Amino acid sequence: MTVLLIANIGNRDVWVDEGAPIPGEVNPQWNKSASRRALGRALQHEWAACRPYLRLPIIGKAVDHARGEPGPPVGVVLVSSDQSGREDVSRHHLAQDTCELAPVVERLLIERHGIAAEAITHWTVTGNPADYGGMQAFFRQHLSALREEHPQATLYLEVSGGTPAMTSMLLTVGAQIFGLDARPLYVSEHEERPFPLDLGRRMVADSLIRTVKANLDIYAYHAAAQTARHNLALLREFVPADPLLAALEYARQRRNFDFKEAWETSASIADLEWGRRLRGIAADAQELTPATLLRESIFSARLAYETGNLFDFVVRVFQFVEGAWRTLALKLGVQFEHNGKPNPYGKELAAQWVQDHQSLIDGLVQDGVRLETVNRYVLDRLVSALHEQIEGQPYQEALAVLRRLEQVGDLRNRVVHQYHRITLELLRDTYYAKKRERKHHPPEDAIDIVQAMKAVWSTATGQPLVGPNPYDAINHLILDMLAQ
């Protein structure tokens, strides 16, 4: 494993004791604003005499810390400034360039800290080291090349020296390019040991969190769960990752109508608060009845519409239409069975119910309705015939809307069997079949189909469809987890 350390050279990186045999005006101990250019030249000129008075209070500690890593010797990149090629730089700022200190730091690393000469590289900032944009471009260019040269390297970022722009851009760009391989270090000249910063891990975690949030926007729970699962150890450092993964899995399972597994997932959360909140959302789908399943079709259809998945949308409408006919049939007293046992989802009419309604059955058979297997057409004819026997026919409007929805659901067959394209305009034209209706409804009004489904549900169940879409509630819960 390659271990690298990058250090910006700042004005405090070379410590010079008072007794160093150099002019007082260039010694920082006597002159706080001493020229770092002049200091570097003086130290190099009188190296043998000055050497005992020098130390690296910041970079030296960082290098020693990095050398604690197993593997090959540490490579060091020293970043200094040299603005001598700029015409607009002031004499004061030119004097504070650290390019003349870089050779001093290098010699001390070799002689005091055991770094091989060939392991030291110099990068020179020739632009304005105080310019954030310029420093961002500088580090993006150099760090990208470094990453390409050392794809498996661990990179220590010593972020105590240099200008604020040099420090912040080394930190942020380094974390972006090297990800979890970047290990920022803050080193104080007054502390014995460097202080590791978790910014690199935090930035990677933030990137993962942004990915999960983007998936939530389109209800892509499977993709979000994969992101969380593959990075669970890192996410645990910043968010309640295990409840997060459970909530994402719950949403994925519920979208796929896997309600049994979904409930078990919600029950598996050990955290009391997050578990309580998720189970509160899950409670509305714990008892599976024709009404709750029909409502779930509406929620799923709305999600498909909002994410532009129109193929899935017409499939959900198709599912809803058959479920609505069955729910109305149950409300009107029709009984179903499967293998001779009562079952509200059975594909056969209950024998006793047929016997009790023989005249109605005979009439349907005379009209050519084949009742051996219950399908949408049979349900439609059953509900219509029973509804005609009710005084006032209270479901008349709902039946009319349901038949319009059936036309939309039938698009599924065209899409599946004929590979027919599906568009908002086609949905609108199918639901608003009359030209005079279409004049008042742009293609975007296809969302009216979802509203129509809600109206039919209310009629079929005898109760209003109130409350938020459960998937919005799930997203809100997950966002709360990510905000921890």
Per the structure block, which two tokens stand in for 302?
């709305």
Q: Is residue 482 part of a domain?
A: no
CATH number, domain containing residue 175 = 3.40.50.10770
Identify the top-confidence range among 68-72, 204-208, 319-323, 461-465.
319-323
Does residue 346 sit in the same domain as residue 216? no
How far is 29 from 15, CA to CA, in rounded Å? 9
Residue 478 belongs to some domain of the structure: no
CA distance 484 to 481: 6
> How many domains in the chain?
3
- Are residues 265 and 117 part of one domain? no
Q: Is residue 475 part of a domain?
A: no
The whole-chain average pLDDT of the chain stands at 90
DSSP one-letter code for 237: T
Residue 227 and residue 274 share a domain: yes
pLDDT in tens, 115-168: 999 999 999 999 999 999 999 999 999 999 999 999 988 888 988 888 888 988
483 is a domain residue: no
* Position 427 in a domain: yes
Q: Report residue 70's pLDDT band, with 50, 70 and 90 as the boundaries.
A: low
CA distance 124 to 133: 16
Look at residue 334 and tell me if it is in a domain.
yes
Does 215 reside within a domain?
yes
**Selection from 157, 244, 135 nearest residue 203 by Cα:** 157
Q: At what angle do helices 448-461 and 424-431 cross, to 10 degrees?
A: 50
Inter-helix orientation angle 259-267/241-255, to 10°: 170
Domain-ending residue, one of 257, 288, 319:
288
pLDDT 10s digits, 339-385? 989 999 999 999 999 999 999 999 999 999 998 889 989 999 999 99
Contact residues for 239 (Cβ-Cβ < 8 A; gap 6+): 205, 209, 481, 482, 484
Tens of pLDDT, residues 418-442: 888 999 999 999 999 888 888 888 8
pLDDT at residue 419 in the model: 86
pLDDT at 277 exceeding the cut of 80: yes
Q: Are residues 308 and 281 in the same domain?
A: no
Cα distance between residue 228 and residue 128, in whole Å:
41
Q: Are residues 151 and 245 in the same domain?
A: no
Kindly state whether residues 269 and 330 are assigned to the same domain.
Answer: no
Place of tokens 């193929």: 311
Same domain, 383 and 234: no
Same domain for 309 and 274?
Answer: no
State whether 134 and 233 are in the same domain. no
Confidence band, pLDDT 50/70/90 cuts, at residue 195: low
User: Given 139, 165, 195, which residue is the final one in a domain?
Assistant: 195
Please check whether residue 144 lies inside any domain of the structure.
Answer: yes
Domain ranges, residue 24? 3-195
Q: Say if residue 306 is in the same domain as residue 437.
A: yes
Q: Among residues of the chain, what percentage have pLDDT more than 70? A: 97
Domain's final residue, options 161, 195, 229: 195
Domain check: are 333 and 223 in the same one? no
Identify whether residues 220 and 323 lie together within a single domain: no
